[in-house]
Structure formats: C-alpha cells, structure tokens
Structure 1
C-alpha cells in the first residue's frame, strides 16, 4: 500500500470511528471539542475528494432527490434555523459517505470499517470494565450538557451506568446500549466477511467475532437482537440462492418479497389490534406513545412535512416539549419512517422508501448473482459480496425502532451502500490462478 493510500485508509477509519462513536468525542471533549474534531475531518475529506476528483454523474437518483427535498424544505420549514443546522449535519455526513464510497478501493473500505468498529468495541469493553471494577457508580460525561449539581440526574444522561457486572445493559464509549449493539452487529458482519474471504487471519477473525457477540449480548438491546435474527435469516436465503440456477434465485427473491408484502399488508390491516397486543404484552420503552405523538403532529402537514431537521433540535418548537419522559427530552421519533413522514411528509417518505428499496434490491442481486470478477480460490463467490445485503438488512430492521439511519453512522452507511451498490464497485478478492489481476480493476 502506498503512503497516500495508507493515509486515506487511516482517514477513512477515523471518519467511521467518529460517526459510530460521536458521543465519545462529545462526552470527552464537549460539543465544542466534537465540532472541532468533525471540522478537521471534514476538511481532510474535502481535500481528498478534490484530489481524487471522483465522477459524481452517476450518484443514485433517490439519494440525490432525498437530499434535494431535505434542502428545499427550508422554504416551508416551521423552524428554518434548525433546518439549516440539520442540513449542515446531513450534507457533511453525506460528504464523508461519498469519500468512503468513491475514494477507497473495496478492500480498503472494508478494512477501514473493520478497524474503526473494532476500536469502538475494544475501548467500550475496557471502559465499562474499569467503571464496573474501580468506579462502581454511574459516570457522567466529562463535559455534561446539563447542570451536574441539579439534583437527581436521569440515568439516560450517564455516560456509563456501571452495569457491566450487575446484570444491566452496558453502553460503552458511545454512551448508548442500542448504538453499541448496532456497532457490534455491523462489526460481526464485517469481520465475519473478512474471515470467510481470508483477508484477516482466521484466529484473529474468530476472536473479534466473539468480542462482537459478547458486546451485543451485554447491551441487551432487543431491537438489535431482532435485527441480528433477521440478518441470519437473510444470510440463509442468500446462501440458498447462490446454490441455485438463475431461475431459482429469482424464485427465492420473489418468495421473500411476497412474504414481506404479506406481513406489511397484514400490519396495516390489523394495525389497531397489533398495537393493542403490543401495549398489553411488550415493553417498547414508550415507543408507541412517541409514535402516536409524532404521527398526530405530522398529520397537520401530511404532504411535505414540517421541514428537515434530522436529530430533533430541543431549543425550538415543537421539539422543546414534544416528547419529555422522566425528565429526558427525546431527540428522535424512535422510528425512521415516522420521523421522515413528520419532517418531509408523504413525499419524503416515498423517496426514502425508494432509496432503501433500491439499495436492498441491488444488494440482493450483488450477493446472489455477483460479477465473475468476485471469484475466489474457493469458488465463484466472495463472501464480501454479502456484506451490503447484510448491513442494509440490519439498518432496515433498526429503522423500525430507531431513527439512527438518518444521522451519523447509519446515514454514512446508507450513503456508502447506495453509491457502491449503484456502481457495483465491490471488493475484489485475490484472482484465481491464471486470472489476470487487471480483471478486477
């Protein structure tokens, strides 16, 4: 690897670490420190984009339309200042995704993602172990965005609740169990792909997969447990489809799509009964009430929404008191689809759905019918071609319980997947004996 490529890969790993663990910087250095770190990274990313000058002509249309719609929503936004701030965060994060997707080779991108997520997992377990063994009480951010002397502080404000050895859910350096669980799941997918393709030592791969599984278990995140179960099911379908002729692959795809359509339709038809069942039998951590509140407000502006904001801005109406539970002001609807419908209306929801649908379909065909250049020494398929499908599946399931796909790590991954699957620039394994190394370039 040349010095220039090494720098670029290192920068990519730092970008991915920062979007995956934004609260690490905010809790450690304050919001101002985090802003300084992200400004430096953004500058470096823009410099690399200027040097590489990648072609932007074939960026995915749904992605561009979604960004365009969010941008022009400032014209009708009920909170234009907050919309401008949200747009800055969305566009800056998208720029990072464009850099990752277009300026790195496939193996460099996966290597950077693996490195970043392993650092998050490793630091999280060390952090929680130190707090659990030596501190033994909740740890607040170094620079808390609240008055630490105000009296009773909600558990949600703690960086770590010191629960690693008490049976509770660990939060790691990211300060949130659900976020850490998602990092663990994506790390498990990424390292698993690397191990299967032999791009890292098998012993090292199995060790980090075990660490990812342990971290996921310690977070006790029901939403990500569900995502992991769906990922395993999709992996099984993809492996089955790979063993079938083209007609069989299509049959598997359309059968799965039909089953999904039946489930979604049944959900709409029996929505009232389903919600009643959930309220009686499942603790969704106030999500049903949050969804109802946000949906009621969104119904006042159903076509184009209230205006883009990504993360809610608690300093402006209606977010200042929209959802306040146990002294905590919530900054998301805990469902990306509800959030998009609220912020960009039915128009935005259709565009967002088209974006995710195109990424999902392209990921499926790349996983089950990849180009011949992805052949490896062990067969016509590379495990790497499964990665986009498994990651977008995890993001889709998470989007039903969290709005994280719209910000930071989730949004970065979505931008990368949209661009890479559109261009079919997947990582290329070592060439087969007698195959020219130039084939995969």
Structure 2
C-alpha cells in the first residue's frame, strides 16, 4: 500500500473517526481551559488543525457523501451572510477572524455528523463530558476545600466550601450550568440505550446534577424546566397511537404557547422566586441599549464578530453607556440583531427552528430513545440562548450545527430527492 493510500485508509477508518470526534468535542467544550493554560493562538491552531483534518476525512469518505445532504441550506446562508458582512463591518480584520473561528467549528461539526451516527455521537459526548465535569469537580474540591485558595489562572474562585457558586473549567457559573444540563441529557440517553452500565450512568447523572446545583446559575433552573417540559411532551407524543399523534402535537403546542404567555405575564414574580433580580436587571439594561443601536442598522447589523471586540464600535459605546465590560449581549438573539441584523436573526431562527421540528417529528415516531437526544439538545440551546450567547460560538455552535445536520439527514426534502434518484424507499417509520 502506497503512503497516500495508507493516509486515506486511516482518515476513512472508524477508529480515527471516533478519536476525531472525541478530540473535536474536547477542544470545543474545553476551549476556556485550553486558552487559559496556553493562549488564544494555541486554541486557534487546534481548531484549525481539526478543521483541516476534518476536510481530509470528508474527502476520504467522498463516495459516501451526497451534495444535497451535505449541510443545511440555512447554515450555508448564515455563514455566507457572516462572511459578506465584512463589507460593512466596523473592523474587517476582527470580522474575518470571528468568521474563521465560526467556520472552523462548523467544519468540525459537519465532519462529526457525517462520520458518526447519533448513538456514536452521544457516546463520544458522554465520555468527553464525564471527564471534563469530573475534572471541574476535582479542581473545585482542590481549590475550595483542600487548599482553600482560588485558581485565578483557571477562573476558579474556590467557593465550593461556601456552597457555590462554582465555575469548574468553563469560566463562568452559567457555562458550567449549561454544560451540566447538556451532560445530564446525554447521560440519561446513554443509560436508556444501555450504552453504559447502570453504575456509570448513576454516577454520571449524579455528577451532572451536583455541578448544575453548585453552579447556582439562575438560568439552569429555567433551562431544566424547559428541558423537563420538552421531555414530558415528547414522551406523551411517543406513547400516543399514530392516528391521534397529530392532534396531540397541536394540543401540546397550544398548551406550551399558553404557558409561555402566562410565564411572561408573571415574569417579575418568577424572577423574584429565582432570586435573579440583579442578573435580569443587568440583562434588561444591556438589551435596551442594544436595541437603540440595532435601530440604526436594523437589516444588516454592524458585522459579524462572535464574542465582542472590546475596542470596536458599537461594543465600546454600549459598554461605556452601561459602565460595564460585557463581551457578549448575554442573549444569542440580541447578539445576532446587533451583528447581523434581522436578516441574520431570521437565518438563525430558520436553522434552529427547522431542525427542531424535523428532529421532533423523527423522535416522535422512532422507537429508539436515542432519537430524542437531538430535539432535546436543540430545546436546550434555544432556551439557553435567551440568557447567554453560548450558541454563537464554540461548543454551543458546534452542537447547533451538529443537531441541524443530524435532523436534515433523517427528515428533509433533500432525502426525498436523493431517494428518488437512487430508487431507495424512505424508512421514516415507527422502527428503531
């Protein structure tokens, strides 16, 4: 075998695909730790090398891929808009840098989506998060109890002995809470599909729940409630006879809409109950200020940046007006309005919304519980996007692209075209 054939064979192998998936997930979820222990350049180099390797893997597997089902159209449109925004950006170099980071994580997610199926992805994510959450707890114990001193280099404040809040290796309590909830969903799916032993499943769920509690993040309560409601609704739909399923779907949709309306009406009471008044007040002031700037460029925004560039407009002016130093809008939707305008927000909503509907419909008819992972993850990202901008970068963006790709592979107009061309019969039925 020639060296070229050997490399291609390696890139196309299942063993390399598993190693790549774990490496990609570890880089995305461990990005804060990598950046703090090394540098931003090191993290960028890791993401770049993973993206290049991913392109090589996709090339090695090109015979297994079809152009129609390669990536969602809305994703391509969003990436194109973010790149084109360099034309009206207030800082073109920062826009190109932010887009390159976005594109790098996109390539990693697309690669994982094509070389691993849903169960394999869930197992790889479960393994990755078990180690990262365990490392977080270990460092918090070391900092808050054994040494009783903070680890500023890692962003760990050492509050464990005081009952929290803790950050782990993720930088903030909100990010730790988000990762813990993602881990909980993944661990439960692993346990239900018997991918892990009962002992490992029990310990993993306990670890995720414990760190979610210790994070003391107000958004975790809302996130857990949203995921709980989605899980209950999906369970009801999955156990409903096929001839009644459509009616039940509409009834649940109406019920959720009514519940959201009621929650909005009593939002101040909910905020007091969550003891999140100061957090919400900070966000409300920030969002009101952002809307003032959005009104100046409502359609296109100020150009794509991802995390804010503190020295660039309009971010400097917003922080100056608030006497603060925000690095994001603390809300994915407001961030998109500011950076890419209503056009960017619309593309983002289409990307996430269509993926949620597709994956929900698939999960409601397939027997295996593994199909519930994608819609529950998308619900998690949608709810978290109301409190943080995690979905627009790093691990959050990788999960969104991965879930959108997975949903498009199992139920889309592309599949119908592809099946018609190949003579294949669609298999979207109540089978596992």
Q: TM-score, normalised by structure 2?
A: 0.85
Structure 1 pair 238–135 and aligned structure 2 pair: CA distance change class (3 A)? same
Write out aligned runs for 1:121-160 (5 A).
Answer: 121-141=133-153, 159-160=155-156
Cα separation, 1, equivalents of 2:388 and 2:87: 27
Cα separation, 1, equivalents of 2:347 and 2:258: 22
Cα separation, 2, equivalents of 1:284 and 1:387: 30
Relative to total residues, which structure has the larger helix share, 1 or 2?
2
Partner of 1:240: 236
Residue 52 of structure 1: how far off its partner (Å) = 1.9
Structure 1 pair 364–312 and aligned structure 2 pair: CA distance change class (3 A)? same
Residue 346 of structure 1: how far off its partner (Å) = 1.3
Cα separation, 2, equivalents of 1:385 and 1:26: 34
CA contact 2:333–2:386 (8 Å) conserved in 1: yes
Residue 408 of structure 1: how far off its partner (Å) = 0.6
Partner of 2:72: 60
CA contact 2:378–2:400 (8 Å) conserved in 1: yes
Residue 281 of structure 1: how far off its partner (Å) = 7.9
Task: Identify the match of residue 222 of structure 1 among 215, 218, 238.
Answer: 218
Cα separation, 1, equivalents of 2:187 and 2:250: 29
- Say if 2:383 is the partner of 1:417: no
Structure 1 residues not aligned, in runs of 5+: 142-157, 371-380, 426-439
Task: Identify the match of residue 386 of structure 1 among 372, 383, 399.
Answer: 372
Cα separation, 2, equivalents of 1:276 and 1:182: 23
Name the SS for the 1:314 alignment partner.
coil
Name the SS for the 2:169 alignment partner.
helix
Name the SS for the 2:316 alignment partner.
coil
Name the SS for the 1:284 alignment partner.
helix
Name the SS for the 1:309 alignment partner.
coil
Partner of 1:359: 355
Cα separation, 1, equivalents of 2:113 and 2:270: 43
Partner of 1:107: 119
How many corresponding residue pairs? 397
Tell which deviates more after alignment, 84-93 or 104-113.
104-113
Write out aligned runs for 1:293-304 (5 A).
Answer: 293-304=289-300
Name the SS for the 1:301 alignment partner.
coil
Partner of 1:377: none
Partner of 2:392: 406
Structure 1 pair 320–281 and aligned structure 2 pair: CA distance change class (3 A)? closer
Q: TM-score, normalised by structure 1?
A: 0.83
CA contact 1:324–1:330 (8 Å) conserved in 2: no
Partner of 1:309: 305
